[in-house]
Chain A
Amino acid sequence: MIVHRGKTIEEVIELLAKYKDSKIIAGGTDVILDIKDNKIFPEALIDISSIEELKGIELKGDFIEIGAGTTFTEIAEDEIFEKNLHGLKKACKLIGSPQIRNRGTVGGNIVNGSPAADSIPPLLCLESTLIFESLEGIRKVKLEDYLKSKYRIKEHELLTKIRFKNPEGLLNFIKLAIRKALAISRMSIATLIELDEEEKVKDIKVASGSLGRYPMRELEVEEFLLGTILGEYTVDEAVNILQNAMEKRLKGRPTLPYKKRAVKSLLKEALNQRIRSSRRVIS
């Protein structure tokens, strides 16, 4: 195995073109396990953990750009996620442990493609775009599309940025896991909700983790809740809709009965938080 420590994006995409069988390593929290367990045998291992241009969070007009090499700790500590984008901060803070968050990167979370990747549901609500670079140039893909297999990362590409519009609404994230630290999500829900002056839902995005083969937007739930006032009846109905959608996707899985029951409190909490915080904002 050849190992290489990349210093610039340009250098890395050249290496990716040169070595057909290569693997990118950033935080290494997944890749190292695969190497240790003899699951992968890359010819070249290319480290991007010290490339400065892949790091950081930038506000560019209405848009926010996160470098793919930004660690979960860096996201959780950035002031930009203190207010309405708190859901992304929360998702990143609930990943692994301090040690894992100090190494693991948002880019790694996305390209590793786990259905339980915690940073993805909030990024889905934000309708994020992924920016890939290769010798062929730049490719932009909606995160939502990316998760469907045919848009996935190509062998000679590097994920460099995640980009989304700074929203008006409030972003939330709720995760269910067997304990607080070092636990992979059993399931998670992110919501992005904007209410109008009459407290009706003006805009809503709902995304789930581990309720299907990959994290996804829950469009039927969104459609139903749009224009409603979030109250007991509407929330219960939204739970029903989500449960029916899960039923189709997870049919035959032994975890389905458990997940169907558990999703109730999860979605309720994700929506009710919004009710509480919107009232707080108004009063």
Chain B
Amino acid sequence: MIEIQLTVNGKDYTVNIEEDKRLLDVLREDLGFTGVKEGCSEGECGACTVIMDGKTVNSCMVMGFQANGSNIVTIEGLEKDGQLHPIQQAFIDIGAVQCGYCTPGMILSAKALLDKNPNPTKEEIREGISGNLCRCTGYSKIVKAVEKARGYEDES
């Protein structure tokens, strides 16, 4: 067992983990962030996407110990003072949610994109979410939702 420290959604955590544990399992099992989903376990589907030090990563492809000292944002960290993040609201309004399993990763990929590029083109949005699979085939509405959320002002 080794001890790691990490910040998740603005809160500091110290956890003892098994050496071979993935960041995905640390977040779900040790810290209870079950909004992080496991879909393929090999970096293909993006359901386990989190934002790590400002960049999206597949949390199934990061070892827990590699995340020591990092700053992580999961879907649970997007609401602020009971207010939904504009991307979350746009996903609801546009109807970009079906089975919902890709939704957390999809929203985080969209957030990382908009944080860097507040006014992406449709093509850039598609590229930005290209690491996230939706099997209900709801891509059109997902892209539409990100278009709707684009240009928002991040208060943080």
Contacts and interface: CB of A to CB of B under 8 A. Distances in A.
A219 interface: no
Contacts of A277: none
Contacts of A50: 66, 69
Nearest to A49: B66
Given A29-B43, A98-B56, A102-B55, A3 B2 contact: yes
A28 interface: yes
Contacts of B58: 99-100, 103
B130 A182 contact: yes
Interface string B101-134: 0000000010011000000000000011011100
Interface of A: 1-3, 5, 25, 27-29, 32-33, 35-36, 45, 47, 49-50, 73, 96-100, 102-103, 180-182
Given A98-B109, A99-B46, A180-B130, 18 more contacts: A1-B20, A5-B65, A28-B66, A32-B63, A33-B43, A35-B20, A36-B41, A96-B131, A97-B43, A97-B130, A97-B131, A99-B57, A99-B61, A99-B131, A100-B58, A100-B131, A103-B61, A181-B130
27 contacts: A2-B19, A3-B65, A5-B68, A27-B61, A29-B61, A32-B63, A33-B43, A35-B20, A36-B41, A49-B66, A50-B69, A97-B130, A98-B109, A98-B112, A98-B128, A98-B130, A99-B46, A99-B57, A99-B58, A99-B131, A100-B58, A100-B61, A103-B61, A103-B62, A181-B127, A181-B130, A182-B130
